[in-house]
Structure 1
Amino acid sequence: MVARPLRPETAPPQLPRIVGGFSTVLADPPWRFANRTGKVAPEHRRLDRYSTMPLEAIKALPVSKTLAVNAHLYLWVPNALLPDGLEVMSAWGFRYVSNIVWAKRRIDGGPDGRGVGFYFRNVTELLLFGVRGSMRTLAPGRSQVNMIETRKREHSRKPDEQYDLIESCSPGAYLELFARHKRAGWTVWGDESSDDVVPRGLVHKGYEGGPILPPLLPNEHIDLGRAEVLGERLRTMYLAGQSVRQLAEETGYSIQRVRALLQAAGTSMRPRGRAPVPELDLFHVLE
């Protein structure tokens, strides 16, 4: 059977301009992988997460015409496409000077090993940092470590912590390219940045982000107050649709522990589709 064509490509709209130009640009281009017809390709009809662009089209965007004489660029790039990211940075008028690593964490703080990769399981993503002209980072940047450690969210969505980091280290005016959400104090450009557009990736099952829960040893004692706090966080995720097994995989807690914590938070459990198990001894499991 012949596969239907992917979403048709359209010419990108004009980039925004301001008097004096933008001093800081954040960009998360819709990179196109070589296997774009494969089932994990972002624009594959099975997923339709977002449209992608070929490398030459990304490079051809007239970003340099929107910039101040001196400017910073923060450019997201997948590990496999690092050479492409450096090409784009150069084409837009920046020179590469450093990078920030996004370490994707599970809810227990460990590396989230559910990323993709043909050679290694990717648990990091790179935010390349480039400079146009001559401009150092602001004073807070001199003590800012080049790592962000947070949980993953919806497919392709980058950590919100990036904005505070960028705003503290680089001056405005700020421009976000390929934006999918508005942000106060920023000019945004992208086909999903309008308030009346729901990003296509949001309709697909993904991660909701949120706080990282502490790791627990298999037989670690938990007092009732702490159990209720952990249970409330798990309850929110459970009511949002995650199963007990998924919560166990994400937290590193045992299935029995997850069930006990959910009970501690007064969670009404969904039917499991098989014969019920004997009621758990809550305090025995918590200990």
Structure 2
Amino acid sequence: MSSRSLRPEQAPDPLPRIVGGFSTVLADPPWRFANRTGKVAPEHRRLDRYSTMSLDSIKSLPVNQVLAKNAHLYLWVPNALLPDGLDVMAAWGFRYVSNIVWAKRRIDGGPDGRGVGFYFRNVTELLLFGVRGSMRTLAPGRSQVNMIETRKREHSRKPDEQYALIESCSPGAYLEMFARHPRAGWTVWGDEAADDVVPRGAVHKGYAGGPILPPLLPNEHVDSQRAEALGRKLKAMYRAGQSVRELADETGYSIQRIRALLQGVGTTMRPRGRAASGNLPQVELFQSAE
């Protein structure tokens, strides 16, 4: 079959950036199998499941440039491509530590035998776990088993249970690469990340325009390094004239969190309800944090 039956590989959009860098990354790369012309090839035009990327293209993504000093990676990889997954993890600046197994179940709890494979019928998939720098899992991770047992959903869609597991075991800010569904509290990057999951090439506001402030889950712990970076950014916005309430509306943070972050970097607070003087110096809101 002609290669013209396959979707060409597209150049990826720039990765989003966030103040303080991402501490946790979840990635489900569009792995390319050797047989791209068969009926199971994801990028086959008739099936049109999704476009794929070469191993070198995945490895060359500048993930290490958008990370916090210490970070966790959760990387989905098909069983047949485990060596490729380990190569990608190393290329992105992580060392392999462990893995989580997704056991695909039928409605009665038995193994879902609809999986594919040349040697065995695969009823599992691997979520590799890697660490950059030095950072243990959060307290709930110490008792978290390394298995997810759920039923399959749409083609290639991973279990939604992964999010609760990751959020309980690893700190934000959270980035999902190659996302196919939006998630509150996460920055998503991918060509199917829009609300309706249909369009290719959906653009997230973090694709361009410099770093954005990370979404924070309610009561999410913020380490001192990130709190300082956020505080400096908010301080610049506050000094440029925005009120605490406006900062809360723009970022989604609570007023109490805004005040705590501002005070944490020694911000001189204006009397409540008073606008900033018009002669304060203007600042570039999305310049890189010092």
Cα 1:197–1:111 shift into 2, 3 Å: closer
Aligned to 2:89: 89
User: Residue 180 of structure 1 aligns to which amino acid in structure 2?
Assistant: R
After superposition, residues 168-179 of structure 1 pair within 5 angstroms as 168-179=168-179
Shift of 1:104: 0.1
Aligned to 1:112: 112
CA distance in 2, matches of 1:135, 1:199: 36
CA distance in 2, matches of 1:145, 1:177: 24
Aligned to 2:159: 159
SS of aligned partner of 2:167: helix
Cα 1:113–1:136 shift into 2, 3 Å: same
Aligned to 2:65: 65
After superposition, residues 7-156 of structure 1 pair within 5 angstroms as 7-156=7-156
Cα 1:84–1:151 shift into 2, 3 Å: same
Shift of 1:46: 2.6
Cα 1:197–1:152 shift into 2, 3 Å: closer
CA distance in 2, matches of 1:96, 1:21: 20
User: Residue 102 of structure 2 aligns to which amino acid in structure 1?
Assistant: W
Kindly provide the CA deviation profile for residues 238-258 of structure 1, in whole angstroms up to 9, marking residues without a partner as x. Answer: xxxxxxxxxxxxxxxxxxxxx
CA distance in 2, matches of 1:156, 1:2: 25
CA distance in 1, matches of 2:106, 2:157: 16
Shift of 1:195: 2.2
Mapped contact 1:69–1:132 kept (Cα < 8 A): yes
User: Residue 124 of structure 2 aligns to which amino acid in structure 1?
Assistant: T
CA distance in 1, matches of 2:40, 2:197: 23
Mapped contact 1:103–1:149 kept (Cα < 8 A): yes
User: Residue 92 of structure 2 aligns to which amino acid in structure 1?
Assistant: W
Mapped contact 1:74–1:128 kept (Cα < 8 A): yes
User: Residue 10 of structure 1 aligns to which amino acid in structure 2?
Assistant: Q
Cα 1:196–1:122 shift into 2, 3 Å: closer
Mapped contact 2:28–2:178 kept (Cα < 8 A): yes
Mapped contact 2:113–2:121 kept (Cα < 8 A): yes
Cα 1:168–1:55 shift into 2, 3 Å: same
CA distance in 1, matches of 2:165, 2:158: 13
Structure 2 unaligned regions, length at least 5: 201-290
Cα 1:3–1:138 shift into 2, 3 Å: closer
Mapped contact 1:26–1:176 kept (Cα < 8 A): yes
Mapped contact 1:180–1:199 kept (Cα < 8 A): no
After superposition, residues 110-259 of structure 1 pair within 5 angstroms as 110-198=110-198
Aligned to 1:221: none
CA distance in 2, matches of 1:80, 1:138: 31
Cα 1:4–1:142 shift into 2, 3 Å: same
What is the TM-score of this pair, normalised by structure 1?
Answer: 0.68
Q: Percent of pairs identical after alignment? A: 89
Shift of 1:15: 0.2
User: Residue 177 of structure 2 aligns to which amino acid in structure 1?
Assistant: L
CA distance in 1, matches of 2:6, 2:130: 33
Tell me which stretches of 4 or more aligned residues in structure 1 moved more than 2 Å: 1-5
Kindly provide the CA deviation profile for residues 80-115 of structure 1, in whole angstroms up to 9, marking residues without a partner as x. Answer: 000000000000000000000000000000000110
What is the TM-score of this pair, normalised by structure 2?
Answer: 0.67
Structure 1 unaligned regions, length at least 5: 201-287
